[in-house]
Amino acid sequence: MRADEFRCGTATIVGRPNVGKSTLLNRLVGQKVSITASKPQTTRHRIGGVLSRDDAQIVFVDTPGIHRDRRSAMSRYLNRTARGAVDGVDVVIFMVEALRWTDEDEDVRRELRESRKPVLLVPNKIDRMVGREELLPWLDRFRGEDRFEEIIPVSARRQQNLEALVGEVRARLPVAPAMLPSDALTDRSERFLAGELVREKLTRKLDQELPYRLAVEIEEFRREKRILRIGAVVWVERASQKGIVIGKGGRVLKAAGAEARANMEALFGSRVHLDIWVKARAGWPNDEKVLRSLGYDG
């Protein structure tokens, strides 16, 4: 590969909550670097996943879903993070759900009209359609839209048409050397990933609103000769919520910890000793100072 043919740059993935942005990032990179769950606000941070090939290196950036709730400091942080991720990138991937267009999708489209970046419209979940004949008329409504340079329907979960998406992204990147080592998977630290894995497992196991009212802080991350020792604190708002997170006889916390530890060992390539404590911190989702101390600084 000649140096004047190698391309490198960033492509940010934006969209409303729960359209599959994190799943797409993980499938493109070939490794779990962004947590997933069926609940809104699972992704809270800007996370870069790195795809390195002989002819290109692409940093795909996962973002929180842009949503209309702006009542809490956490909600405002999520929207700031999602909007800020469009600045300084080379390509924007606008992800929606095939055959479904919501007011929140329209909000994102309006936001992107102010950007001069090339935008690819990516309808996801085409594997859920019984027949494809309904997709083409639905796509026609977007053809000729001046903000969309291409429309690439995909199934992130089934990895359908992802190569076409990678090709369209690469074609819009500048000729430049790689930014990161070829074996890099993410621009985030192992410490950060450990906290996210604990939060993912609890988010999946807890019902209703509680997952949105907890945060995870890694207090210890220490490598010894044959083991990685990790200490995590799960913050909730009220003391009464601690029992829900822990579960009867500690079942919820033990199960979440065991699943998180297994994922960490696979990701970090090391045995992991994981300790998790649950503590209460009143009003943390609506306190800008506390959010910054927990890593929510944009």
For 7-48, how does the pLDDT look when each residue is reduced to its tens digit (9 = 90+)?
999 999 999 888 999 999 999 999 888 878 777 667 778 889
Residues 157 and 27 in one domain: yes
Residues 97 and 201 in one domain: no
Q: What is the pLDDT of residue 27?
A: 96
Dump pLDDT digits (tens) for 38-82.
776 677 788 899 999 999 999 999 887 766 666 677 777 777 776
Residues 51 and 136 in one domain: yes
* pLDDT tier at 130, thresholds 50, 70, 90: low
Q: Is 163 contained in some domain? A: yes
Residues 166 and 202 in one domain: no
CATH code for position 251: 3.30.300.20
Q: Does 1 have pLDDT greater than 60? A: no
Residues 165 and 245 in one domain: no
Report the predicted TM-score, pTM, of the whole model to 2 decimal places. Answer: 0.86
Residues 239 and 115 in one domain: no
- Interaxial angle between packed helices 239-246 and 251-268, expressed in degrees from 0 to 180 and rounded to the nearest 10: 70
In order, the DSSP letters of 2-54 are -TTT-EEEEEEEE-STTSSHHHHHHHHHTS--S---SSTT---S-EEEEEE-S
Residue of higher predicted confidence among 80 and 273: 273
Residues 240 and 111 in one domain: no
Q: Which of 115, 135, 170 is where one domain is finished? A: 170
CB within 8 Å of 247: residues ≥ 6 apart: 253, 254, 255
Q: How far from chain centre, in Å, is Cα 59? A: 13
Q: What is the pLDDT of residue 19?
A: 93
Residues 14 and 136 in one domain: yes
Which range among 209-218, 238-247, 279-288 has the greatest average pLDDT?
A: 238-247
Angle at 10 between CA 9 and CA 16, to 5 degrees: 160
Q: Is 1 contained in some domain? A: no
Residues 153 and 68 in one domain: yes
Residues 123 and 202 in one domain: no
Q: What is the pLDDT of residue 213?
A: 77
Residues 146 and 204 in one domain: no
Q: How far apart are CA 232 and CA 253, in angstroms?
A: 12
* pLDDT tier at 128, thresholds 50, 70, 90: confident
* Overall number of domains in the chain: 2
Residue 244 domain boundaries: 190-293
Q: Is 183 contained in some domain? A: no
Question: CA 206 → CA 22, 74, 289, distances in Å?
Answer: 20, 19, 26
Write the single-letter amino acid at 267: L
Residues 201 and 164 in one domain: no
Q: What is the pLDDT of residue 35?
A: 78
Task: Tell me what the mean pLDDT of segment 223-248 comes to.
Answer: 94
Percent of the chain with pLDDT strictly greater than 70: 93
Q: How far from chain centre, in Å, is Cα 32? A: 10
Q: What is the pLDDT of residue 7?
A: 97
Q: What is the pLDDT of residue 81?
A: 75
Q: Does 187 have pLDDT greater than 80? A: yes
CATH code for position 12: 3.40.50.300
Q: Is 178 contained in some domain? A: no
What integer best gives the mean pLDDT of the chain? 89
Q: Is 214 contained in some domain? A: yes
The kind and range of the H/E element at 288 are helix 288-293
* pLDDT tier at 93, thresholds 50, 70, 90: very high
Q: What is the pLDDT of residue 85?
A: 72
Closest CA to 125 of 260, 23, 267: 23
Q: Is 241 contained in some domain? A: yes
Q: Is 289 contained in some domain? A: yes
